[in-house]
Amino acid sequence: MNISRKFSVIASLISMLAAAPAVQADHEWRLTVNGVSRHFDTDTPRSQLNEVNPGLGLEYHTSDWYIAGASYIDSYDCRAGYLGAGERWQLGQLAGITLDVGYFAGVHYRCLEYGDTQQNFVPAAFPTLTAGAFGDLVQLTAGVVPPVPDIIEDPGVAFSLSIRLPD
C-alpha cells in the first residue's frame, strides 16, 4: 500500500470516529492510552517481543455501545492501529470500582509480512474486561487477544487506560 493510500485510509478512519453521533444525551468521549501487553503460549522468545506498547486513541461511548480507534507501537516494534466498535455490560461494583465485561470487533492494521504477502488490514475481535474508578473517570481495560492462524502467532492480553474527557 503506497504512502498516500495509507494516509487516505487513516484520514477516513479518523473521520468516521469523529463523525460519531453527538445527539444522544448519554454519551462521552474518552482518551485512550495504550500501554502494555503480556504474551502467553507463544513460539516467539519473550525477549524478541516488545511488551511496552505506547500509543494514543479516542473512544466514543453511548449507553449501549462504543467505537474506538488508536495508533500504537505493537509487540514487534511496528506502528499498528485499530478501529472498531463494541459493547460493555456492568457486572457490578466492588469497593468503588466498576467492573464491566464486553467485546470489541473491528479492523486492525499491522505491518507484518508473511512471505511475499503483506497483510496490513486484518479483522479483530476479542473479549474485554474493564475496571473503572472515580465514577468511571479512569478505566483500565484488558483485551484478550486470541491466536489466529497466519495473523496472530503470539496471543496475549493487551492493557489500555482511558480517561473521560470533559464535555
The total number of residues written for the chain in this structure: 167
Task: Give the residue with greater pLDDT, 45 vs 95.
Answer: 95
* Nearest partner of 12 among 118, 107, 111, 117, judged by Cα: 107
Task: Tally the C-alpha atoms within 13 A of residue 82's C-alpha that lie toward its C-beta.
Answer: 24
Q: What single-letter DSSP state applies at residue 64?
A: S
Residue 124: pLDDT over 90: no
Residue 120: pLDDT over 70: yes
Residue 104: pLDDT over 50: yes
The pLDDT, as a whole number, for residue 66 is: 96
Give pTM, 2 decimals. Answer: 0.76
Quote the cell numbers at residue 88.
Answer: 460493555
**pLDDT tens across 24-57, in order?**
458 999 999 998 888 886 666 666 778 889 999 9
CA distance 8 to 117: 22
| Average pLDDT estimate for 79-93 | 93
- What residue ranges define each of the domains in the chain, with the CATH number in brackets? 26-164 (2.40.160.20)
The pLDDT, as a whole number, for residue 22 is: 46
